[in-house]
């Protein structure tokens, strides 16, 4: 199945092969830039009927730079196709209630919630996503229970993964750090010590509505410091306190909200990638 260039330059060979494919009706496109043909055209169709098993015409996944992981000393680099919401320098991607300018303190590559800093709301709206957030709870710790290092990562302004200092600090389990607040505790408590940088890597798919009717709930998959704490967990509804969560119909996009709960929690290296289907460009 593999054709070599046979003396032709790869580009020229691809051009010839492409032209031949067009003459043949255009259906058998050459997939690769170097002119090689890949895959099979005599295999069964996969469910859905669009692509055959090992179909070489199937679009090649987009090539990206994967970025680097963070260390305690330094934030990592986001993947090249991520939308960066905070890179340690400024709050230009954020606002607060009523569209007013964000007031959190930015220094040393992170932002910190000041006294009466207010909620942080991303200017860009998104729904289904891979979201990366890093945070550090105050060191030395102050307060206990829900009063220690409280903040929150709230996707679409509704679906919260709790931020709290639960390093040797117990609270109600469905409200501890990395809980789906008010619904599910994390599978394990993977908290680092106060002052240490921690990571959330979240895969979120938003709910879908048909008019007023919920046709598909939201789902959360969450890694806390690299540890799986929610595995494609069905979300019961928007975050609420001392009440049952419910869904209220909304669109497919909303802002990311970082909660000010009165604790000087720090954040750095915040980015997301919008989730798409396999064959979407
Ligand atoms: Mg909170």
Residue 150 CA to ligand 1 centre (angstroms) = 5
Kindly report, residue by residue over 43-78, the tens digit of the pLDDT. Answer: 999 999 999 999 999 999 999 999 999 999 999 999
Distance of alpha carbon 108 from alpha carbon 197, whole angstroms = 13
Which residues are registered as beta bridge partners of 162?
152
Residue 154 CA to ligand 1 centre (angstroms) = 9
Residue 33 CA to ligand 1 centre (angstroms) = 50
Residue 245 CA to ligand 1 centre (angstroms) = 15
Residues, Cβ < 5 Å to ion ligand 1: 150, 152, 162, 259, 261
Average pLDDT over residues 82-104: 97
- Inside any domain, residue 279: no
- Name residues whose C-beta falls within 8 Å of residue 281's C-beta, 6 or more positions apart in sequence: 59, 62
Domains in the chain: how many in total? 1
- Inside any domain, residue 281: no
**Residue 245 domain boundaries:** 10-274
User: What confidence score (pLDDT) does residue 36 get?
Assistant: 86
Distance of alpha carbon 270 from alpha carbon 190, whole angstroms = 20
CA angle 276, 277, 280 (to 5 degrees): 85
User: What confidence score (pLDDT) does residue 279 get?
Assistant: 79
Distance of alpha carbon 136 from alpha carbon 138, whole angstroms = 7
- Inside any domain, residue 5: no
Q: What are phi and psi of 17, to 5 degrees?
A: -60, -40
Residue 174 CA to ligand 1 centre (angstroms) = 11
- Inside any domain, residue 3: no
Residue 114 CA to ligand 1 centre (angstroms) = 16
- Inside any domain, residue 82: yes
Distance of alpha carbon 250 from alpha carbon 207, whole angstroms = 9
Residue 273 CA to ligand 1 centre (angstroms) = 24
Residue 162 CA to ligand 1 centre (angstroms) = 5
- Inside any domain, residue 32: yes
- Inside any domain, residue 2: no
Average pLDDT over residues 16-25: 42
Average pLDDT over residues 217-245: 98
Residue 3 CA to ligand 1 centre (angstroms) = 58
Residue 52 CA to ligand 1 centre (angstroms) = 48
Residue 227 CA to ligand 1 centre (angstroms) = 20
Kindly report, residue by residue over 168-209, the tens digit of the pLDDT. Answer: 999 999 999 999 999 999 999 999 999 999 999 999 999 999
Look at the pTM and tell me if it is higher than 0.85.
yes
* CATH number for the domain harbouring residue 131: 2.60.120.560
Distance of alpha carbon 169 from alpha carbon 166, whole angstroms = 5
- Inside any domain, residue 260: yes
């Amino acid at each position: 199945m593999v054709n070599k260039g046979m003396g032709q330059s790869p580009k020229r060979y691809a051009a010839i092969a492409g032209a031949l494919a067009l003459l043949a009706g255009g259906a058998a496109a050459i997939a690769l830039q170097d002119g090689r043909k890949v895959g099979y055209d005599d295999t069964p169709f996969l469910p859905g009927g669009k692509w055959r098993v090992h179909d070489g015409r199937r679009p090649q996944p987009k090539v990206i730079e994967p970025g680097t992981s963070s260390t305690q000393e330094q934030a990592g680099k986001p993947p090249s196709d991520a939308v960066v919401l905070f890179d340690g320098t400024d709050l230009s991607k954020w606002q607060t209630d009523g569209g007013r300018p964000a007031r959190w303190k930015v220094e040393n590559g992170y932002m910190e919630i000041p006294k009466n800093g207010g909620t942080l709301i991303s200017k860009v709206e998104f729904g289904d996503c891979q979201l990366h957030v890093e945070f550090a709870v105050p060191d030395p710790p102050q307060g206990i229970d829900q009063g220690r290092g409280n903040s929150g990562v709230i996707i679409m302004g509704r679906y919260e993964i709790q931020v709290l200092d639960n390093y040797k600090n117990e609270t109600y389990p469905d409200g501890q750090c990395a809980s789906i607040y008010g619904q599910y505790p994390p599978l394990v408590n993977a908290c680092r010590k106060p002052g240490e940088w921690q990571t959330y890597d979240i895969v979120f798919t938003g709910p879908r509505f048909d008019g007023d009717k919920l046709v598909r709930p939201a789902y959360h998959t969450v890694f806390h410091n690299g540890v799986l704490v929610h595995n494609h967990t069905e979300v019961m509804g928007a975050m609420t306190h001392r009440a049952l969560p419910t869904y209220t119909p909304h669109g497919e996009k909303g802002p990311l909200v970082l909660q000010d709960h009165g604790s000087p929690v720090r954040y750095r290296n915040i980015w997301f990638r919008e989730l798409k289907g396999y064959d979407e460009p």
